[in-house]
Amino acid sequence: MAEQLDVISIGDIVTDVFIKLLDDQAKVYEDSDQNKWLAMPFGTKLPYDTVQTIKGVGNAANAAVAFARLGLNSAYIANVGDDSIGREMIDALHDNKVDSRFIRINPGKQSNVHYVLRYDVERTILIKHEAYDYHWPHLTPNEVPKWLYFSSISMHAMDFHDQLADWLDNHPEVKLAFQPGTFQMEAGVERLKRIYAHSEVLLVNREEAALITGGNHDDYHDLLSRMHGLGAKIAVITDGPNGAVASDQQQILSMPLYPDPSPPKERTGAGDAFSAAFVAALIKGNNIAGALQWGPINSMNVVQHIGAQEGLLNEREIEHFLSVAPDNYHPTLL
């Protein structure tokens, strides 16, 4: 009998094409509402610095690879098109030791490709989610995992959320980690209330927490309380340079960032790296204090590389960074 899957990640998979813009060919300006805009000359040809194609990424795909890198039996549920890009993404998952048996190839459809415009250390991503026919797969008893990790998926997959919620109703032993993506947040809490209610862990950044819950952006306690009110047993908020906070309804802990060994190269995937390491630590038996120490280390190393997966760490590497961490790198009660 095959070993039980530790975690199945769920969400859209893409190929990212990173285009690094030349410093003198673009600029950033701020409008009257303090929104930042990337500006380039219009109606002309612009030279660029470099281009790099990274196959098989996306929020849930990054998590699936992170789980495998951390020694978990990791599988992935996603859709690809019937094209060479889709086949190459499946090959990339195999190379990263992610089980791809649940990936559905959609005849006559294209695979998702996103274009990442890199300028300085930030990026603007041009996205398009193909309209696949989303269906929750039939999982045999031997394929039921210990955990599910659900993240960004297309606006075309609303009914898929209901199918997942129905399946979770029938499998209460399976724990769900939910890291909602853009379209899921736009759908609103009421539409996805069954997914939120099933969440063992809910992971968002501070702006997303305020958007989802309608809570006070400046009050961690209010945001975390509202996240628990949606059903999450463990609520996690990342907050950029301020680190992260997490609550298990018994205590609220604050965690600083792990110091960067050198200036970040590119920030794509930093949140995925944190969230996946946090959840992996829980799967391996850690409490939220231990999980909070894993997350920032994985995130720190990812931003030292281009793309969301090259810098993902294994458990031995995380333990090394913990062993040389500064004295203030530990969770404190909020």
Torsion of CA 220, 311, 277, 118, to 10 degrees: 40
CATH code for the domain of 287 = 3.40.1190.20
40 assigned to some structural domain: no
Tell me: the pLDDT tens digits for 19-52? 999 999 999 999 999 999 999 999 999 999 999 9
Confidence of residue 3 (pLDDT cuts 50, 70, 90): confident
Residue holding tokens 């410093």?
23
25 assigned to some structural domain: no
230 assigned to some structural domain: yes
Q: What's the CA gap between 88 and 86, in Å, rounded?
A: 5
Q: Across the beta sheet with 332-333, what order do the strands follow?
A: 99-106, 74-81, 7-10, 147-150, 175-178, 199-205, 234-238, 244-247, 252-255, 332-333
Confidence of residue 267 (pLDDT cuts 50, 70, 90): confident
Tell me: the pLDDT tens digits for 147-193? 999 999 999 999 999 999 999 999 999 999 999 999 999 999 999 99
66 assigned to some structural domain: yes
Per DSSP, what are the bridge partners of residue 103? 78
Predicted pLDDT of residue 1:
56
70 assigned to some structural domain: yes
Residue holding tokens 């997490």?
246
Mean pLDDT within 215-228: 98
50 assigned to some structural domain: no
Total tally of structural domains belonging to the chain: 1
Range of the domain at 285: 7-14+57-113+130-333
28 assigned to some structural domain: no
289 assigned to some structural domain: yes
